[in-house]
Structure 1
Amino acid sequence: MQKNGPVALLFHALVVAFVLAPLVVICLVAFTPENTLTMPTTAFSLRWFRAVFEHPDFVTAFGNSLWLATIAASISVAIAVPAGLAIDRYRFPGRDALNGLFLSPLIIPHLVLGVAFLRLFALIGATGSFAWLVLSHVIIVTPYVLRLVLAALSGLDRSAEQAAMTLGASRFTVFRRVTAPMILPGISGGWLIAFINSFDELTMSIFVTSPATVTLPVRMYMYATESLDPMMAAVSALMIALTALAMLALDRVFGLDKILVGEK
């Protein structure tokens, strides 16, 4: 085992480098002063970052994505927490079917979901509605929140809840004062993962957005079909930075290891 240690370490280092290399290249290209997708060789420039913020379509699309991801992640938490409590705490007919229903969007390709939502919205006359766009994103991000909530509940010591109920606290008070704070890392981690997935969603959003509700990934895709310049690299670098900062903040507050394994 000890002889395989350096080999295993080298293998994992190569895997990590292979995964991160495209992101590093994109971030470096974003600082090029040239008009083409080239690595900066003589100087670094913020030219394309300024161009992003001066482009009204990208600013509007960023606002749409930010609101969409925030609302969708918050609604998914409101759905996943009671659903997780019901699935974890109670045994009732259809429990496994309910769990499978909530997790089913994970196994359906987003291309299929996009076509299905487009057809549904066209039939009910809701094409282009921001509310229905939110609903479609809620459906695809709720499974992520539910999994983390269930993980947090599975590692929960219920003795504190039982003690609170013994002292006369109502079920709602027990949930608000005891249960919710104890599973807060799972809830927060689920909200953040749902936010990131909603913010980055492209495949399904192409089918259900309208000119008034274009999201940032869709706008990037549309721009890339018309022009190929480092502005796309700058937008991608900003999205990578936003995701990294969010994950870092969550790790500093709760610890990603506790969130992912469902510890208290």
Structure 2
Amino acid sequence: MPLMRDDIIWQKIKTYHELDLPPDRENAPTIQAWELKDRQQFFILNPRRTKYGIFSFGGTLQAAKDSNPQSEFTHLGTNDRIYLSDWQISELARAKRIRPVIGPTDGARNVPGSSFALKPNQRKKAVTKLAYADGFETFMRENDLRSMTDEQKAQVIKKVAAEIGDDKPPGRSGWYKIIRIARTGNQYDRLVSFADNDAAKGNRRLRYGPTTNDAIIDAAQAAVAARGDWKTIRALLEKWSKLGGRYYHSGLPRVQRRVLSHPH
């Protein structure tokens, strides 16, 4: 059983019925849509977050024009399929019951549970910024304000910095950025909105090219589902790069030696 980031030892489910998925809501209001990629895999947990199943996204279906679209997920343990609306996914995300198996790239900001894939330094910075955002919102709510003066903002910054032990609080330009993100960012996983977008910095080119990068991600996801390790990933890449393999015609054979020679 895997030891996850929140230090809870999870037990793998036998069927998806053990997850007690939230029911769909009729006439649910229009909500934020999710950015899901084909074959992207997610952990889905039960309400107590003690059991999990791994599910692969298989596309979006809509039974009729007047019906809500639903996302299809396949349970990798039984191949059973479940269908979740955007509303149900948002409920799972709010309850911290859905998390990506492999973290999304920095560009994919709207994936349920994506904050759990943040790197430790990203998460630490995001938590700090979120504390200041909550401080601003609390001050305005308690004082029945719709906006704040710079003096009031400075007062909040000083108070929050003392509470969280931040010896390098944001400057004036940082105040406005935090407030803007708090008002316009991802409302279902607010922590993601405050995370640094490393993809927008420096050299943005993929190290091995897009196809090879996709092959590595596919192999890593398959290895996780099979409880394998880096040897499993290497074996899959070797298999897929051979004649007749999934990635043989994609250029993977030309770079496989460089990729597969890495011990991790």
For Structure 1 versus Structure 2, the TM-score category normalised by the shorter chain is under 0.3
Higher share of residues assigned helix = 1
Higher share of residues assigned strand = 2
TM-score normalised according to structure 2 size: 0.21
